[in-house]
Amino acid sequence: MLTFCKLYYYKLLFMKKNSIVAKKKFGQNFLKDETVLRKIVEAMPKTDNKIVEIGPGLGDLTKFLVDVKSVEAFEVDTDLCKLLQNIFKEEIATKRLHINCGDVLNAWQSSLIDEPYDLVANLPYYIATNIILKALADPMCKNILVMVQLEVAEKFCAMNGEKVFGSLSVITQSLGNAHIVVKVPPTAFDPQPKIDSAVFLIQKNADRNDEKFEDMLRVAFKQPRKTLMKNLSVVYEKNVLQEAFEELNIASTIRPHELSTHDYHQLYKLTNTRSLDGRRESGNTSK
Ligand code: SAM
């Protein structure tokens, strides 16, 4: 039973929460739609892994997460850290929740924490892609369930042949399976962003790509409207490429978004093993 004091304390917290002004520089759009919050929780992979939440904000998603599992949270805004420490006093005392106050990017070494974890977050959009790429490369991160700008979610989840299929799609498909869980309109947030958002899930089954493979992807997709052959020939010898394309039965007119992830890996193997000179020496760009 709540005592009068407790009720008064909660009322004060509520007033404090409502007096917080969202800071644009930290990408603060707080998710208010309870249906979406519940959909995120329902979509969480059923694992024993700890949850990492980046940007707990006012704690609206956090309160659902701590009900399910213990949570390691990272929040850059010191005002919000203080508020969260008050709201979640009990969960912090019982070690259901630990809040790291500071920029998550500074805390991230090769792994963000030293045990297996699932990332569940409504990400700050200005660094969302960077965070997801870090989580994909983090061997301790096993699953990624995040809200981002719809356009970004579509890039991570695209299949080859779709216009938005790009290096992010290939990197993701190389490490796991991705799909969009729910599209979210601006009205679900306070303040409302100008763009649509989406929650998507990546279930990882591998830890990281070869860095050189990712270098090749950057070159392959540099000019998406040009042919893949044209893009790659900036870095690779044309005869090595032609041989590899022929062997893999890839049309020389194919555009970067049309080739499958599997074929990108095959192409990478052939161009890099066939000849160490497959990559042009810098400066030797004539052809
Ligand atoms: N999770 C809350 C929700 O769903 O309402 C807030 C989400 S809001 C889109 C993004 C949150 O990330 C904010 O609380 C913001 O302060 C925090 N944030 C922004 N940049 C950050 C960083 N570099 N490290 C940690 N947190 C950050």
**CB of 83 shorter than 6 A to ligand 1:** no
Q: Which CATH class name applies to 211-271?
A: mainly alpha
What is the spatial distance between Cα 42 and Cα 61, in angstroms, rounded to a whole number? 12
Q: How many Å lie between the centroid of ligand 1 and the Cα of residue 22?
A: 10
Q: How many Å lie between the centroid of ligand 1 and the Cα of residue 127?
A: 10
What is the spatial distance between Cα 150 and Cα 188, in angstroms, rounded to a whole number? 14
Ligand 1 atom, smallest distance to 23 CA? 16
Q: Which of 168, 197, 164, 166 is nearest to 180 (CA)?
A: 197
In this predicted structure, what is the pLDDT of residue 282? 38
**CB of 190 shorter than 6 A to ligand 1:** no
**CB of 61 shorter than 6 A to ligand 1:** yes
**Other Cβ atoms within 10 Å of 138 Cβ, number:** 22
Q: What share of the chain is helix, strand, coil (3-state, %, to 5)?
A: 45, 20, 35
**Other Cβ atoms within 10 Å of 9 Cβ, number:** 14
Domain ranges of the chain: 4-204, 211-271
Ligand 1, atom 14, lies closest to the CA of 57
Q: How many Å lie between the centroid of ligand 1 and the Cα of residue 63?
A: 15
In this predicted structure, what is the pLDDT of residue 276? 44
**CB of 60 shorter than 6 A to ligand 1:** yes
**Other Cβ atoms within 10 Å of 80 Cβ, number:** 24
In this predicted structure, what is the pLDDT of residue 280? 47
**CB of 76 shorter than 6 A to ligand 1:** yes
Q: Which of 204, 184, 185, 186 is nearest to 144 (CA)?
A: 204
Distance, CA of 56 to chain centre: 16
Ligand 1 atom, smallest distance to 62 CA? 1
Ligand 1 atom, smallest distance to 104 CA? 24
> What predicted TM-score, i.e. pTM, was given to this entire model?
0.91
Q: How many CA atoms lie within 13 A of 144 on its CB side?
A: 34
Contact criterion met (CB below 8 Å) for 124 and 27: yes
Q: Which of 46, 78, 60 is nearest to 14 (CA)?
A: 60
In this predicted structure, what is the pLDDT of residue 129? 98
Which parts of the chain register pLDDT below 50? 275-278, 280-287
Give Cβ neighbours of residue 15 (< 8 Å, ≥ 6 apart): none
In this predicted structure, what is the pLDDT of residue 147? 98
In this predicted structure, what is the pLDDT of residue 151? 98
**Other Cβ atoms within 10 Å of 45 Cβ, number:** 15
In this predicted structure, what is the pLDDT of residue 4? 61
Fold topology of 4-204: Rossmann fold (3.40.50)
In this predicted structure, what is the pLDDT of residue 16? 60
